[in-house]
Amino acid sequence: MIPASPSALQAVPDPETARLEAVRGLDLLDTPPEAGFDLISELAARLFQLPVVLITLVEQDRVWCKSRFGLQFEPAGDLPGMRPATGLDEGPCLVADAQADPRTRDHRQVTGAPGLRFLIAIPLCTREHHAVGALVGMDLVPRNWTGEQTAQFALLARLAVEHMELRRGARRALVLQQGLEELRVQLGQTAARDALTGSWNFNAVMVLLQQAHARSRRDGCAFAVMVLEVDGFEGLAPKFSSAAAGQILAEVGSRLRATLRGGDAIGRVGEARFLCVLESFGIDAARLVAERCRAAVARLPVSFEHLTPHHTMVSVSVGLVLMDPAAACEPGAIVEHAEHLLDQSRADGGNRVSAAIMAPSA
């Protein structure tokens, strides 16, 4: 097994590149209006008596409105809080009186049509802390806007982000489900399952890995590969009958499947080794899933009936690789590096997670 070169483990792309990837990964740009977003913009307009409310996405060279309520005009991308050239400010942007504020008093949409006088913009920040757009409120008269109103407006911005995340998750879950259905057609449900653990067998999980890799390259979405192995299984097996050793593996497989999401793939790829494919994860979220899997196995003993000893504690070591979609790595190389990290976890005493990012070479 050959570990990835240091250049393959460098940091993920610069913040603006990562932010643009997050915007495009939402699959919202240039899509028709949707009731969920329109309800949020209308609610904001009515609650705060604003004649204009926008839900925007900020791409590299444009501001695009996913939803708008009220007066119909194209907001300028160089207004405060909406600058596509530099991304979005980290915090709220408030212009109480655009004619008095030096940032806006000479702006063409203040001095001319539509005659803006007030603006509040709250960045729409994803769970990975990427500002993908903004919830924007505008008025044609100055406003005495309070800190409490900003906090309330920010709650509606958070609601818009949650709707984006749920929408993206639902769409990707559908794609994953379709992939699983295709796999069942190709291989047959029974033939694709490992009889002992109920997980996918080696051939099936490798097909799922190849499909995830292809989707990652096509859609620009990161995914993770996790390799887990029961610690010291070669020493456990002689202590028990073959049936009891099989029961240990079956229980480990059951606990892992119960911990993963429904669309995640897990297969048995060795005597006591499992491989998982986790799609649409950042490194922190993937590491959290890996830690949950490790804890789920180690938390409770595996019990046996009519055997002495009646139970045994079991743990797993984990190697986790987050795959940047821009990295030119084939599935086999990703698995090899995850196995290298697994060996590192075992060498460090077992029952632990070792993780890394495979990013594009400089």
Domain CATH number, residue 25: 3.30.450.40
Asked if residue 173 is part of any domain, the answer here is: no
Asked if residue 10 is part of any domain, the answer here is: no
221 and 337 belong to one structural domain: yes
* Dist CA 264 CA 177 (whole Å): 10
- 133 burial class (0-12, 13-18, 19+ CB within 10 angstroms)? buried
* Dist CA 112 CA 117 (whole Å): 11
Residue type, 347: A
140 and 192 belong to one structural domain: no
350 and 303 belong to one structural domain: yes
* Average pLDDT for the chain: 84
112 and 199 belong to one structural domain: no
Of how many residues is the chain composed? Answer: 362
Domain CATH number, residue 242: 3.30.70.270
Residue 160's φ and ψ, nearest 5 degrees, are -65, -40
Look up the pTM and report it.
0.52
Spell out a b/e string for 99-130, using b for 16 or more CB atoms within 10 Å of the CB, else e.
eebeebeebebbeeeeebbbbbbbbbbbebeb
270 and 151 belong to one structural domain: no
65 and 200 belong to one structural domain: no
- E-strand ranges in the chain read 52-58, 63-70, 93-95, 118-125, 131-139, 223-230, 265-268, 273-279, 302-303, 311-312, 316-323, 353-358
Nearest to 197 by CA among 288, 291, 270: 270
Rg of the chain over Cα atoms, rounded to whole angstroms, equals: 26
Beta bridge mates, 321: 225, 356
pLDDT digits (tens, 9 = 90+) for 147-198: 999 999 999 999 999 989 888 877 777 776 777 767 666 655 556 788 888 8
Mean pLDDT of successive 10-residue segments in the chain (362 residues)? Answer: 43 74 88 92 94 91 89 81 55 90 90 92 88 93 93 93 85 71 61 83 89 85 91 75 82 91 87 90 84 91 66 90 83 93 94 89 60
User: In sequence order, what DSSP letters do the residues of 82-105 get, joined into one string?
Assistant: --TTT---SS-EEES-TTT-TTTT
Residue span of the structural domain in which 340 resides: 188-358
143 and 253 belong to one structural domain: no
pLDDT at position 3 is: 46
